[in-house]
Every structure is written in C-alpha cells, then in structure tokens.
Amino acid sequence: MTNKLFIYNTLSRNKEQFEPANPPFVGLYACGPTVYGDAHLGHARQAVVFDVLYRYLSHLGYRVRYVRNITDVGHLEHDADEGEDKIIKKARLESVEPMEVVQRYLNRYHDNMRLLNLIPPSIEPMASGHIIEQQQLVEKILDAGYAYEKNGSVYFDVARYSESHPYGRLSGRKTDDLLANTRPLDGQSEKNNPLDFALWKKADASHLMKWPSRWGEGYPGWHLECSVMSTKYLGIPLDIHGGGMDLLFPHHECEIAQNVAGFGEPAVRFWMHHNMITINGQKMGRSLGNFITLEEIFTGSHRLLEQAHAPMTIKFYILQAHYRSTLDFSNQALQASEKGLLRLLKAVAAIGSLPAGRDSSVDVDELSRRCGEAMNDDLNTPILISHLFEGVKWINEIQEGRASLVQEDLKKLKELYDTWLFSILGLQMISPGDSGKGISGELIELILQLRTEAKNRKDFEAADRIRAALNDLGVVIMDRKEGTDWEFSKDA
C-alpha cells in the first residue's frame, strides 16, 4: 500500500485499490445539502472530505469531474406518505417563494464553502432542474416492472425487486429484517409494502412545487435525483459516490435499487461514507436541533462557543480526524486545532528565510514519500498532518542552528508544503492583519521604537506598560534577539 491509492468501499467493507473505470477520467459524485437552512459543521465535513478527495485525485493526475448535487425539491419532512417538502415548509413559514428559500440558502452555502477554501464542484446540479430526467427514470423502472402507480403516485416495489436482487447489500440489511422491524404506518397507506419508497408523489392543489406528468401533477421522490444526476453527468458506471453515513440507508440503498431497476446495473463502483460530527457524544443534526452553523462558528455567536474560529481552523480540525471516524465537537478541541494550525503555518511561512546548510541532516524526500503513503491509505489526513508537523520540527531546528538543509532540500521542503498542505489539504495562510481594531502597522512600529528606547535606558517599567497597553489593543509583542516583533492577537 505504498504508491497506490486505496479507498474504503462501503460495498465490500474493505479498503480496495482505486482504479478508475476509464482512466485518466474519474467520476466523483457526492450528496450535497438540502438548502432549507444554513450549513452546519456536518455540512462542512462533507464538503471538506470530498474536496480533499477531489484535490488528491487531481494531484495523482486523474481528470476528475466532481458533481455535488443541491437538493431543492422532493425532500420529505416526515413519512413519504404524509410528508411535506422541506423547502415548501420553510417557504410557508417565511412567506416567500420556495425558490427564494433555495436561492437564499444556496448563496449562503456557497459563501461558507468559499471561506473554507473549497474548490467548487465541476457541476452542481439541482433536483428541480432535472424533473424530466427523473420522470424518465420512473418510467423505466415502471417498464421494468419494479414499480407501481397508485392514485397519481408511483412507488418502488421493494418486495418484487428483492426477489431477484439483493436489496440492502450496501447497508447490510436483510429485507426480512426490515419488514419485521418497520413500524406500521398510521392511517391507510397507499403503499403495498412498508418498505416501498416513493419515486413520484402526487401533489394536491395546495402544493407549491409541482410538475405535470403522465401520472398527474406531482413531484419526484428524494432518492430519485441522485440516481438521475449522478449517471447523467458521470455515466455508468461512475467511479465514486460519496455522502454521509446517515445517508447509507435508505437513501443510497434506494439509489442502487433504482439504478439496477432502471439502468440494469448498480452504476456505482466505490461507495464512500464519511462519519458524523458529534456534540456531547451525540450526532449533530438538524432534526436534533443540536447543530452549530458555520456562520455561528465564524462569528462566535453560538451560545456553546467560547470564541469565534477562522474557517481554516474548522477545516484543520476536521482534517485532524479520519473521515470515517466520528469527530467530537468541543471548545477545547477547536482551540487545540487553532493553536496547532497557527504553529504549523508560522513555521511554513519561515521556510523562505531559512539559511541553506552545507549538508542536509534530515530527509525531505522520505517525508514527502510518507505524506503520499498516508493519503494513499484511505485518505489518512491525520497521519499526513502528523508528518507535516515533523517538518515543523525541522524548520524550527534549522532556525536554531541544530539542523540543516542544503539549498535544494529547502526548496523541496517548500514544495512539500505547497503540495500537501496548500494544494491537497487546501489550507490557507491565516492573515492576522485584518484584525487589530484598525491600528496601523506604522503606528505600532513607532510605539515599539519608543519602547525599545525605554528598554535601552533600562526603564523596564515604561516598556512593560507599553507592552501591556498594546496587548489590550490586541497587539502581541515578542522581543527577539534581532529586535522586537509583533502581531495582532487572534482574538483581537
């Protein structure tokens, strides 16, 4: 497992060597958000994980088409029979057009993603823009005999399907178990079987978002959009389909069933699922109401937050855990990430001014190799980051004169960070200059000159007073051998 990329495939529950179906092209699809509210930490994890995958595949030389959908219709609030579309519900609450809700939260989502320095997907299709295609897939499934129409709605026939195909393979479920453990539905269900799911739902007169179809006015079921849009833009089979573990069942299971029924094959080669962010040991989610939005984190406005955190801190915090592990939120964890990231970035910023040595006491090539090895092992970003800190140690030691690198190796070290830290992990330098309550750098320099003069007179009381006053204004002073350095404190 050295120079080949291995990815954990949920289908096999094993790490498998990744090869695209049609090299050098890679089709990557990830389930994106339903835009009826602000993105929270969990959405950030989804986006960060697949952004890194996208970047890494590109780094390996693949030509990747990355598709991330936007769900703007068809997502039911409760049970499929009695549900109300989430977007519509929000629109009613806010007395606006459904598409106004979609647009508002989509814009905000994009703002958040930009702050996290994520590369926009190649294509970001919306469910509402693919109604015709979704209807076509419903017809195919009907023609194949795996669905039935009832009162203007169309349902997938799970029982029929599972006679000849394994339903539940991805999520490790058995149809019998599912049947035994499904709650009986309230009222009179139209569905033949509780396991059946909606492909097309009839819309009554009051429904805001609906489209004409041969079954009457209605709207598509949620699972349909991903089957349609992933295959439309990435073909069959497509290489990687990702999403949160909470989508494994029923969403992705239904997708596979739809694909097999409609296209004759499962369509997806690798299924990747990232784990959840937890808070107090519980999953952070919209339904539990225990989520913290990205906006709240960036501004520090949530009651559980002790301070605001920069987008890069959030990203670093996410990348310090492996994507298949749960990641627990806490102020302490976030602060630890922030400090670590600042130390890392500080060292990296200093590479350019390191003196070249006559020989190299450490092996940059070896470190670089290990970075690749970490990523090849199912995107082990925590290990990659630990290697990047190894380099930090070197940089600091070179500054202290206790290690050395020849010019060429210094250049390689710089390239190492350009590649792994900036290009693949997609982290950015945090510029502290925009904080500090509008004090100009020149003014600070002037004051520091006065302080240096005071120090030279041995008037330490004055020097300390100046330092304390500047500190209150958010300016941190560091006396070095070469002179006094300063920076705006992070929470100024």
Partner RNA sequence: GGUCGGUUUGCCGAGUGGCUAGGCGCUGGUCUGCAAAACCAGUUACAGCGGUUCGAAUCCGCUACCGACCUCCA
Closer to RNA by CB, 205 or 480: give it: 480
The interface region with RNA, picked from 51-59, 120-128, 147-155, 171-179 by CB under 7 A, is 171-179
Q: Which is nearer to RNA, 24 or 172 (CB)?
A: 172
Q: In whole angstroms, how far apart are CA 32 and each of 45, 103, 264, 400, 411?
A: 11, 15, 25, 47, 39
Backbone angles phi, psi at 172, to 5 degrees: 70, 40
- Report the site for RNA in 249-268 (rule: CB under 7 A): 249-251
- Out of 98, 220, 244, 436, which residue is the one contacting RNA (CB under 7 A)? 244
Q: How far is the CB of 80 from RNA (least distance, A)?
A: 6
Q: Which is nearer to RNA, 214 or 393 (CB)?
A: 393
**What are the distances in angstroms from CA 140 to CA 85, 160, 203?**
25, 15, 21
The answer to whether 356 contacts RNA (rule: CB under 7 A) is no
125 lies in the binding site for RNA (CB under 7 A)? no
Please select the residue that binds RNA; options are 288, 429, 446, 469, rule is CB under 7 A. 288
Strand partners, 328: 278
Rounded distance between C-alpha atoms, residue 334 and residue 268, angstroms: 36
From the list 36-44, 116-124, 232-240, 355-363, the region that binds RNA by CB under 7 A is: 36-44
Size of the site for RNA (CB under 7 A): 99
Q: Which of 2, 3, 151, 181 touches RNA (CB under 7 A)?
A: 181
Q: Residue 322, SS3?
A: coil
- 193 lies in the site for RNA, by CB under 7 A: no
Query: DSSP letter at 118?
Result: P
For residue 388, the one-letter residue type is: L
Minimum gap (Å) between residue 15 Cβ and RNA: 7
Among 5, 7, 28, 34, indicate the residue that binds RNA (CB under 7 A): 34
Q: Which stretch binds RNA (CB under 7 A): 128-136, 174-182, 359-367, 410-418?
A: 174-182
| Contact criterion met (CB below 8 Å) for 269 and 57 | no
The CB-of-291 to RNA minimum distance in angstroms stands at 7
Q: Does 391 bind RNA (CB under 7 A)?
A: no
Could you identify the residue written with the tokens 């330092």? 467
Residues found in the chain: 492
- CA–CA separation, 114 and 110 (whole Å): 6
CB of 240 within 8 A of CB of 270? yes
Work out whether 68 is an interface residue with RNA (CB under 7 A).
no
User: How many C-beta neighbours within 10 Å does residue 491 have?
Assistant: 11
The residue among 401 and 408 lying less far from RNA, judged by its C-beta, is 401
108-116, 275-283, 358-366, 422-430 -> range binding RNA (CB under 7 A): 275-283
Is 16 a binding residue for RNA by CB under 7 A? The answer is no
CB 391 within 8 A of CB 413: yes
User: Of residues 428-487, which lie at the interface with RNA (CB under 7 A)?
Assistant: 455, 460, 463-464, 467, 476-481
Contact yes or no for 56/7 (Cβ under 8 A): no
Bridge partners (DSSP) of residue 6 are 17, 377
Q: List beta partners, residue 200.
A: 154, 220
Q: For RNA, which stretch binds (CB under 7 A), given 99-107, 124-132, 137-145, 269-277?
A: 269-277
